[in-house]
A = this chain, B = another copy of it.
Protein backbone atom coordinates (compact mmCIF):
# COMPACT_ATOMS: atom_id res chain seq x y z
CA UNK A 1 0.00 0.00 0.00
CA UNK A 2 2.70 2.40 1.01
CA UNK A 3 4.66 1.71 -2.16
CA UNK A 4 1.59 2.42 -4.25
CA UNK A 5 1.03 5.76 -2.58
CA UNK A 6 4.61 6.75 -3.23
CA UNK A 7 4.33 5.74 -6.84
CA UNK A 8 1.18 7.80 -7.12
CA UNK A 9 2.93 10.89 -5.78
CA UNK A 10 5.70 10.40 -8.30
CA UNK A 11 3.33 10.26 -11.23
CA UNK A 12 1.42 13.29 -10.01
CA UNK A 13 4.73 15.15 -9.87
CA UNK A 14 5.35 14.10 -13.47
CA UNK A 15 2.00 15.56 -14.50
CA UNK A 16 2.91 18.79 -12.80
CA UNK A 17 6.16 18.89 -14.74
CA UNK A 18 4.24 18.45 -17.98
CA UNK A 19 1.91 21.29 -17.07
CA UNK A 20 4.84 23.53 -16.16
CA UNK A 21 6.26 22.78 -19.60
CA UNK A 22 2.95 23.91 -21.11
CA UNK A 23 3.13 27.20 -19.25
CA UNK A 24 6.78 27.79 -20.13
CA UNK A 25 6.05 27.19 -23.80
CA UNK A 26 3.13 29.58 -23.59
CA UNK A 27 5.34 32.27 -22.10
CA UNK A 28 8.63 31.80 -23.90
CA UNK A 29 8.27 29.96 -27.20
CA UNK A 30 6.99 31.21 -30.51
CA UNK A 31 7.50 30.11 -34.11
CA UNK A 32 10.73 31.10 -35.80
CA UNK A 33 10.56 32.67 -39.21
CA UNK A 34 10.97 29.34 -41.01
CA UNK A 35 7.64 28.32 -39.52
CA UNK A 36 5.77 31.58 -40.01
CA UNK A 37 3.61 32.49 -43.00
CA UNK A 38 5.26 34.71 -45.57
CA UNK A 39 3.87 37.58 -47.60
CA UNK A 40 4.35 36.15 -51.03
CA UNK A 41 3.73 32.49 -51.68
CA UNK A 42 5.60 32.79 -54.98
CA UNK A 43 8.92 32.74 -53.20
CA UNK A 44 8.26 29.40 -51.59
CA UNK A 45 11.63 28.24 -50.45
CA UNK A 46 12.41 24.56 -50.36
CA UNK A 47 11.56 22.72 -47.16
CA UNK A 48 14.59 22.35 -44.94
CA UNK A 49 16.77 19.61 -46.35
CA UNK A 50 17.67 18.31 -42.90
CA UNK A 51 14.27 16.70 -42.44
CA UNK A 52 15.34 13.21 -43.62
CA UNK A 53 18.33 13.37 -41.28
CA UNK A 54 15.98 14.32 -38.47
CA UNK A 55 13.74 11.34 -39.08
CA UNK A 56 16.74 9.02 -39.09
CA UNK A 57 17.78 10.38 -35.71
CA UNK A 58 14.25 9.90 -34.41
CA UNK A 59 14.54 6.22 -35.28
CA UNK A 60 17.85 6.03 -33.40
CA UNK A 61 16.44 7.65 -30.28
CA UNK A 62 13.16 5.80 -30.04
CA UNK A 63 13.71 2.45 -31.75
CA UNK A 64 17.50 2.30 -31.51
CA UNK A 65 17.92 3.06 -27.83
CA UNK A 66 14.59 1.47 -26.92
CA UNK A 67 15.26 -1.89 -28.46
CA UNK A 68 18.97 -2.01 -27.71
CA UNK A 69 17.95 -2.05 -24.05
CA UNK A 70 15.43 -4.89 -24.47
CA UNK A 71 18.26 -7.39 -24.09
CA UNK A 72 17.30 -7.91 -20.43
CA UNK A 73 14.88 -10.79 -20.50
CA UNK A 74 12.33 -9.45 -18.05
CA UNK A 75 12.70 -5.74 -18.71
CA UNK A 76 11.33 -5.29 -22.24
CA UNK A 77 8.31 -3.18 -21.29
CA UNK A 78 10.53 -0.83 -19.32
CA UNK A 79 13.27 -0.67 -21.96
CA UNK A 80 10.93 0.38 -24.76
CA UNK A 81 8.43 2.19 -22.55
CA UNK A 82 10.81 4.29 -20.47
CA UNK A 83 12.78 5.23 -23.59
CA UNK A 84 9.58 6.55 -25.13
CA UNK A 85 8.54 8.35 -21.96
CA UNK A 86 11.95 9.79 -21.15
CA UNK A 87 12.62 10.99 -24.69
CA UNK A 88 9.16 12.60 -24.85
CA UNK A 89 9.86 14.46 -21.64
CA UNK A 90 13.39 15.45 -22.52
CA UNK A 91 12.72 16.80 -25.99
CA UNK A 92 10.24 19.28 -24.55
CA UNK A 93 12.70 20.26 -21.85
CA UNK A 94 15.71 20.47 -24.16
CA UNK A 95 13.97 22.93 -26.48
CA UNK A 96 13.58 25.20 -23.47
CA UNK A 97 17.00 24.72 -21.88
CA UNK A 98 18.94 25.07 -25.12
CA UNK A 99 16.65 27.87 -26.21
CA UNK A 100 17.36 29.98 -23.15
CA UNK A 101 20.89 30.50 -24.46
CA UNK A 102 19.65 31.88 -27.76
CA UNK A 103 16.58 33.89 -26.84
CA UNK A 104 15.78 36.93 -28.92
CA UNK A 105 13.56 39.53 -27.30
CA UNK A 106 12.77 37.16 -24.48
CA UNK A 107 11.44 34.50 -26.83
CA UNK A 108 12.73 31.16 -28.06
CA UNK A 109 12.27 30.85 -31.80
CA UNK A 110 10.93 27.41 -32.68
CA UNK A 111 11.60 25.62 -35.93
CA UNK A 112 12.81 22.26 -37.20
CA UNK A 113 16.32 23.15 -36.05
CA UNK A 114 15.31 23.24 -32.38
CA UNK A 115 13.69 19.86 -32.48
CA UNK A 116 16.71 18.32 -34.19
CA UNK A 117 18.79 19.71 -31.33
CA UNK A 118 16.26 18.36 -28.86
CA UNK A 119 16.44 14.89 -30.39
CA UNK A 120 20.21 14.92 -30.06
CA UNK A 121 19.91 16.07 -26.46
CA UNK A 122 17.52 13.19 -25.77
CA UNK A 123 20.41 10.82 -26.39
CA UNK A 124 22.21 12.16 -23.30
CA UNK A 125 19.94 10.86 -20.50
CA UNK A 126 19.22 7.73 -22.53
CA UNK A 127 22.94 6.95 -22.49
CA UNK A 128 23.03 7.56 -18.73
CA UNK A 129 19.95 5.38 -18.32
CA UNK A 130 21.95 2.57 -19.93
CA UNK A 131 24.37 2.57 -17.02
CA UNK A 132 21.48 2.36 -14.55
CA UNK A 133 19.13 0.12 -16.50
CA UNK A 134 16.94 -1.90 -14.25
CA UNK A 135 18.14 -0.33 -11.02
CA UNK A 136 16.17 2.91 -10.78
CA UNK A 137 12.53 3.88 -11.01
CA UNK A 138 10.92 5.99 -13.75
CA UNK A 139 10.50 8.83 -11.26
CA UNK A 140 14.19 8.75 -10.41
CA UNK A 141 14.87 8.79 -14.15
CA UNK A 142 12.61 11.81 -14.52
CA UNK A 143 14.51 13.78 -11.91
CA UNK A 144 17.89 12.70 -13.24
CA UNK A 145 17.00 13.64 -16.81
CA UNK A 146 15.72 17.11 -15.94
CA UNK A 147 18.85 17.96 -14.03
CA UNK A 148 21.16 16.33 -16.56
CA UNK A 149 19.70 18.19 -19.54
CA UNK A 150 20.09 21.53 -17.79
CA UNK A 151 23.72 20.78 -17.07
CA UNK A 152 24.26 19.36 -20.56
CA UNK A 153 22.95 22.58 -22.13
CA UNK A 154 25.39 24.66 -20.10
CA UNK A 155 28.35 22.40 -20.79
CA UNK A 156 27.57 22.23 -24.50
CA UNK A 157 27.27 25.99 -24.72
CA UNK A 158 30.63 26.46 -23.04
CA UNK A 159 32.33 23.77 -25.11
CA UNK A 160 31.03 24.85 -28.50
CA UNK A 161 30.55 28.60 -28.14
CA UNK A 162 33.22 29.62 -25.65
CA UNK A 163 35.94 26.98 -25.96
CA UNK A 164 34.94 26.79 -29.64
CA UNK A 165 35.87 23.14 -30.05
CA UNK A 166 34.78 21.05 -32.99
CA UNK A 167 32.37 18.23 -32.11
CA UNK A 168 30.02 17.76 -35.02
CA UNK A 169 28.91 14.25 -34.07
CA UNK A 170 28.65 15.05 -30.38
CA UNK A 171 31.10 12.46 -29.10
CA UNK A 172 32.39 14.88 -26.50
CA UNK A 173 29.30 16.85 -25.57
CA UNK A 174 26.77 14.03 -25.92
CA UNK A 175 28.43 10.63 -25.57
CA UNK A 176 31.17 11.37 -23.04
CA UNK A 177 28.83 13.59 -21.04
CA UNK A 178 26.00 11.06 -20.95
CA UNK A 179 28.26 8.13 -20.16
CA UNK A 180 30.27 9.68 -17.33
CA UNK A 181 27.24 11.35 -15.80
CA UNK A 182 25.46 8.00 -15.73
CA UNK A 183 28.48 6.19 -14.36
CA UNK A 184 28.82 8.75 -11.57
CA UNK A 185 25.18 8.23 -10.64
CA UNK A 186 25.76 4.47 -10.71
CA UNK A 187 28.74 4.82 -8.42
CA UNK A 188 26.71 6.84 -5.92
CA UNK A 189 23.99 4.22 -6.00
CA UNK A 190 26.40 1.32 -5.73
CA UNK A 191 25.27 -1.66 -3.68
CA UNK A 192 26.68 -2.71 -0.37
CA UNK A 193 29.42 -5.28 -0.51
CA UNK A 194 27.16 -8.21 0.27
CA UNK A 195 24.83 -7.25 -2.57
CA UNK A 196 27.45 -6.80 -5.27
CA UNK A 197 26.60 -9.96 -7.23
CA UNK A 198 24.65 -9.84 -10.49
CA UNK A 199 20.92 -9.50 -10.13
CA UNK A 200 18.75 -12.58 -10.56
CA UNK A 201 17.29 -11.27 -13.80
CA UNK A 202 20.36 -9.40 -15.07
CA UNK A 203 20.77 -11.29 -18.28
CA UNK A 204 19.41 -11.96 -21.73
CA UNK A 205 17.52 -14.86 -23.13
CA UNK A 206 17.47 -15.98 -26.73
CA UNK A 207 14.59 -13.81 -27.87
CA UNK A 208 15.48 -10.71 -25.87
CA UNK A 209 18.88 -10.81 -27.58
CA UNK A 210 17.23 -10.81 -30.99
CA UNK A 211 14.97 -7.91 -30.03
CA UNK A 212 18.10 -6.02 -29.00
CA UNK A 213 19.47 -6.51 -32.50
CA UNK A 214 16.57 -4.40 -33.84
CA UNK A 215 18.05 -1.58 -31.82
CA UNK A 216 21.64 -2.25 -32.82
CA UNK A 217 20.91 -2.44 -36.52
CA UNK A 218 18.89 0.76 -36.66
CA UNK A 219 21.53 2.61 -34.64
CA UNK A 220 24.19 1.29 -37.02
CA UNK A 221 22.26 2.22 -40.14
CA UNK A 222 21.38 5.76 -39.14
CA UNK A 223 24.57 6.71 -37.31
CA UNK A 224 25.88 8.57 -40.38
CA UNK A 225 22.80 10.81 -40.10
CA UNK A 226 23.45 11.50 -36.43
CA UNK A 227 27.07 12.46 -37.07
CA UNK A 228 26.37 14.51 -40.19
CA UNK A 229 23.15 16.36 -39.38
CA UNK A 230 24.92 19.44 -38.04
CA UNK A 231 27.75 19.38 -40.61
CA UNK A 232 27.75 21.87 -43.45
CA UNK A 233 28.68 21.76 -47.10
CA UNK A 234 31.24 19.18 -48.15
CA UNK A 235 31.91 18.41 -44.48
CA UNK A 236 28.55 16.70 -44.45
CA UNK A 237 29.56 14.28 -47.17
CA UNK A 238 32.80 13.51 -45.33
CA UNK A 239 30.89 12.97 -42.10
CA UNK A 240 28.65 10.43 -43.83
CA UNK A 241 31.40 8.52 -45.57
CA UNK A 242 33.78 8.47 -42.61
CA UNK A 243 31.12 7.35 -40.15
CA UNK A 244 30.09 4.56 -42.47
CA UNK A 245 33.62 3.25 -42.89
CA UNK A 246 34.45 3.54 -39.21
CA UNK A 247 31.34 1.56 -38.30
CA UNK A 248 32.18 -1.12 -40.85
CA UNK A 249 35.75 -1.50 -39.58
CA UNK A 250 34.64 -1.53 -35.93
CA UNK A 251 32.11 -4.24 -36.76
CA UNK A 252 34.59 -6.57 -38.40
CA UNK A 253 37.05 -5.98 -35.56
CA UNK A 254 34.35 -6.66 -32.99
CA UNK A 255 33.56 -10.05 -34.50
CA UNK A 256 37.22 -11.01 -34.53
CA UNK A 257 37.96 -9.94 -30.98
CA UNK A 258 34.72 -11.23 -29.56
CA UNK A 259 35.62 -14.68 -30.84
CA UNK A 260 39.24 -14.47 -29.75
CA UNK A 261 38.67 -13.35 -26.17
CA UNK A 262 35.58 -15.42 -25.44
CA UNK A 263 35.15 -18.85 -24.03
CA UNK A 264 35.67 -21.53 -26.74
CA UNK A 265 36.07 -18.73 -29.29
CA UNK A 266 32.34 -18.22 -29.41
CA UNK A 267 30.86 -14.88 -30.40
CA UNK A 268 29.22 -12.91 -27.62
CA UNK A 269 25.96 -11.09 -28.39
CA UNK A 270 26.84 -8.33 -25.92
CA UNK A 271 29.80 -7.39 -28.08
CA UNK A 272 27.89 -7.72 -31.33
CA UNK A 273 25.06 -5.57 -30.03
CA UNK A 274 27.28 -2.82 -28.68
CA UNK A 275 30.91 -2.75 -29.77
CA UNK A 276 29.94 -2.74 -33.45
CA UNK A 277 28.58 0.75 -32.79
CA UNK A 278 31.71 2.04 -31.07
CA UNK A 279 33.05 3.06 -34.48
CA UNK A 280 30.25 5.58 -34.77
CA UNK A 281 31.09 7.19 -31.43
CA UNK A 282 34.85 7.18 -31.93
CA UNK A 283 34.66 8.96 -35.27
CA UNK A 284 32.01 11.43 -34.11
CA UNK A 285 34.11 14.47 -33.24
CA UNK A 286 36.38 14.14 -36.27
CA UNK A 287 34.05 12.78 -38.92
CA UNK A 288 33.90 16.03 -40.88
CA UNK A 289 37.66 16.60 -40.75
CA UNK A 290 40.06 15.52 -43.48
CA UNK A 291 40.89 12.24 -41.78
CA UNK A 292 40.83 10.21 -44.97
CA UNK A 293 39.09 6.90 -45.51
CA UNK A 294 42.04 5.12 -43.92
CA UNK A 295 41.79 7.40 -40.88
CA UNK A 296 38.15 6.45 -40.47
CA UNK A 297 38.93 2.75 -40.78
CA UNK A 298 41.81 2.98 -38.33
CA UNK A 299 39.61 4.74 -35.80
CA UNK A 300 36.99 2.04 -36.28
CA UNK A 301 39.50 -0.73 -35.66
CA UNK A 302 40.74 0.96 -32.48
CA UNK A 303 37.21 1.59 -31.26
CA UNK A 304 36.08 -1.99 -31.82
CA UNK A 305 39.15 -3.28 -30.03
CA UNK A 306 38.84 -0.99 -27.03
CA UNK A 307 35.14 -1.63 -26.71
CA UNK A 308 35.33 -5.43 -26.76
CA UNK A 309 38.26 -5.37 -24.34
CA UNK A 310 36.25 -3.06 -22.12
CA UNK A 311 33.32 -5.47 -22.00
CA UNK A 312 35.58 -8.44 -21.43
CA UNK A 313 37.96 -7.02 -18.85
CA UNK A 314 37.22 -3.49 -17.62
CA UNK A 315 33.51 -3.79 -16.81
CA UNK A 316 33.95 -6.93 -14.68
CA UNK A 317 36.87 -5.19 -12.95
CA UNK A 318 34.86 -2.06 -12.15
CA UNK A 319 32.00 -4.15 -10.86
CA UNK A 320 34.22 -6.26 -8.67
CA UNK A 321 36.49 -3.51 -7.35
CA UNK A 322 34.38 -0.36 -7.30
CA UNK A 323 30.96 -2.01 -7.17
CA UNK A 324 30.30 0.18 -10.20
CA UNK A 325 27.55 -1.57 -12.13
CA UNK A 326 27.02 -0.54 -15.75
CA UNK A 327 24.11 -2.58 -17.07
CA UNK A 328 24.51 -1.80 -20.77
CA UNK A 329 28.23 -1.15 -20.63
CA UNK A 330 27.93 2.48 -21.65
CA UNK A 331 31.55 2.95 -20.65
CA UNK A 332 32.54 0.61 -23.47
CA UNK A 333 30.11 1.87 -26.08
CA UNK A 334 30.02 5.60 -25.28
CA UNK A 335 32.65 6.49 -22.68
CA UNK A 336 35.96 5.17 -23.97
CA UNK A 337 35.14 5.56 -27.67
CA UNK A 338 34.28 9.21 -26.96
CA UNK A 339 37.67 9.68 -25.31
CA UNK A 340 39.28 8.19 -28.42
CA UNK A 341 37.32 10.63 -30.54
CA UNK A 342 38.43 13.59 -28.44
CA UNK A 343 42.07 12.57 -28.61
CA UNK A 344 41.79 12.04 -32.35
CA UNK A 345 40.28 15.50 -32.68
CA UNK A 346 43.29 17.04 -30.93
CA UNK A 347 45.66 15.17 -33.23
CA UNK A 348 43.85 16.15 -36.41
CA UNK A 349 43.30 19.73 -35.23
CA UNK A 350 47.04 20.09 -34.68
CA UNK A 351 47.57 19.26 -38.34
CA UNK A 352 45.00 21.65 -39.82
CA UNK A 353 46.21 23.95 -42.57
CA UNK A 354 44.44 26.71 -44.47
CA UNK A 355 45.49 25.14 -47.76
CA UNK A 356 43.67 21.91 -47.04
CA UNK A 357 40.54 23.15 -45.30
CA UNK A 358 39.88 26.19 -47.49
CA UNK A 359 36.40 27.57 -46.81
CA UNK A 360 35.66 24.74 -44.36
CA UNK A 361 38.10 26.26 -41.87
CA UNK A 362 35.54 28.82 -40.81
CA UNK A 363 32.68 26.38 -40.44
CA UNK A 364 34.64 23.72 -38.57
CA UNK A 365 37.19 25.77 -36.60
CA UNK A 366 35.81 29.32 -36.47
CA UNK A 367 38.30 30.37 -33.78
CA UNK A 368 41.17 29.79 -36.21
CA UNK A 369 39.96 32.50 -38.58
CA UNK A 370 41.96 35.69 -38.78
CA UNK A 371 40.67 39.24 -39.04
CA UNK A 372 40.74 39.38 -42.83
CA UNK A 373 38.88 36.13 -43.21
CA UNK A 374 36.18 37.15 -40.74
CA UNK A 375 35.62 40.36 -42.61
CA UNK A 376 35.57 38.64 -45.99
CA UNK A 377 33.11 36.07 -44.79
CA UNK A 378 29.51 37.06 -44.73
CA UNK A 379 28.34 33.79 -43.28
CA UNK A 380 30.24 33.74 -40.00
CA UNK A 381 28.73 35.76 -37.21
CA UNK A 382 31.29 37.39 -34.99
CA UNK A 383 31.37 35.55 -31.69
CA UNK A 384 32.68 37.76 -28.91
CA UNK A 385 32.73 34.92 -26.38
CA UNK A 386 35.45 32.78 -27.93
CA UNK A 387 38.01 32.06 -25.23
CA UNK A 388 41.37 33.60 -26.15
CA UNK A 389 39.85 35.31 -29.18
CA UNK A 390 40.18 34.51 -32.85
CA UNK A 391 43.38 33.66 -34.77
CA UNK A 392 44.09 30.47 -32.89
CA UNK A 393 46.94 28.36 -34.20
CA UNK A 394 46.37 24.71 -35.03
CA UNK A 395 48.16 23.54 -31.93
CA UNK A 396 46.16 25.91 -29.72
CA UNK A 397 42.98 24.49 -31.21
CA UNK A 398 44.30 21.01 -30.39
CA UNK A 399 44.80 22.13 -26.81
CA UNK A 400 41.23 23.41 -26.62
CA UNK A 401 39.96 20.06 -27.90
CA UNK A 402 41.64 18.37 -24.95
CA UNK A 403 40.41 21.07 -22.60
CA UNK A 404 36.89 20.47 -23.94
CA UNK A 405 36.84 16.77 -23.19
CA UNK A 406 38.48 17.24 -19.79
CA UNK A 407 35.93 19.85 -18.78
CA UNK A 408 33.06 17.74 -20.09
CA UNK A 409 34.11 14.62 -18.21
CA UNK A 410 34.64 16.64 -15.06
CA UNK A 411 31.29 18.41 -15.27
CA UNK A 412 29.56 15.11 -16.02
CA UNK A 413 31.17 13.35 -13.06
CA UNK A 414 30.46 16.17 -10.62
CA UNK A 415 26.91 16.52 -11.92
CA UNK A 416 26.29 12.79 -11.83
CA UNK A 417 27.66 12.56 -8.33
CA UNK A 418 25.31 15.29 -7.15
CA UNK A 419 22.36 13.69 -8.88
CA UNK A 420 23.26 10.32 -7.41
CA UNK A 421 23.49 11.77 -3.90
CA UNK A 422 20.06 13.34 -4.24
CA UNK A 423 18.58 10.10 -5.60
CA UNK A 424 20.13 8.19 -2.72
CA UNK A 425 19.67 10.40 0.32
CA UNK A 426 16.34 12.07 -0.37
CA UNK A 427 12.88 10.70 -0.27
CA UNK A 428 12.77 8.98 -3.68
CA UNK A 429 11.40 5.48 -3.64
CA UNK A 430 14.35 3.16 -4.32
CA UNK A 431 14.40 -0.32 -5.77
CA UNK A 432 15.39 -3.28 -3.66
CA UNK A 433 17.86 -5.80 -5.03
CA UNK A 434 15.12 -8.31 -5.78
CA UNK A 435 13.15 -5.68 -7.67
CA UNK A 436 16.00 -5.03 -10.10
CA UNK A 437 15.88 -5.75 -13.83
CA UNK A 438 12.26 -6.73 -14.03
CA UNK A 439 9.11 -5.01 -15.17
CA UNK A 440 6.67 -6.25 -12.59
CA UNK A 441 6.84 -3.50 -10.01
CA UNK A 442 5.80 -0.76 -12.44
CA UNK A 443 3.96 -2.66 -15.17
CA UNK A 444 0.94 -4.88 -15.50
CA UNK A 445 2.59 -8.09 -16.68
CA UNK A 446 0.58 -10.99 -18.18
CA UNK A 447 0.10 -13.86 -15.78
CA UNK A 448 2.08 -16.42 -17.76
CA UNK A 449 5.20 -14.35 -17.23
CA UNK A 450 4.97 -14.24 -13.48
CA UNK A 451 5.32 -17.99 -13.15
CA UNK A 452 8.79 -17.88 -14.63
Contacts and interface: CB of A to CB of B under 8 A. Distances in A.
A429 to B, nearest CB: 11
Contacts of A7: 259, 265
Contacts of A203: 446
Interface string A357-398: 111111100000000000001110000000000000000000
Contact of A92 (B18, B236, B245, B262): B245
B48 A49 contact: no
Given A26-B294, A66-B213, A233-B44, A267 B81 contact: yes
A247 B61 CA distance: 15
A422 interface: no
A35 B241 contact: yes
A324 B190 CA distance: 52
A406 interface: no
A359 B59 CA distance: 34
Interface residues of A, number: 136
Contact of A66 (B217, B225, B266): B217
Which label, helix, strand, loop or mixed, suits the secondary structure of the A interface? helix
A358 B55 contact: no
Nearest to A91: B248
A298 B293 CA distance: 45
B298 A238 contact: no
A237 interface: yes
Contact of A37 (B34, B81, B89, B234): B234
Interface of A: 4, 7-8, 11-12, 14-15, 17-19, 21-22, 25-26, 29-31, 34-42, 44-49, 51-52, 55-56, 58-59, 62-63, 66-67, 70, 76-77, 80-81, 84-85, 87-89, 91-92, 95, 110-112, 114-115, 138, 203-207, 209-211, 213-214, 216-218, 220-222, 224-225, 232-238, 240-241, 244-245, 247-249, 251-253, 255-256, 259-260, 262-269, 272, 276, 290, 292-294, 297-298, 301, 356-363, 377-379, 441-446, 448-449
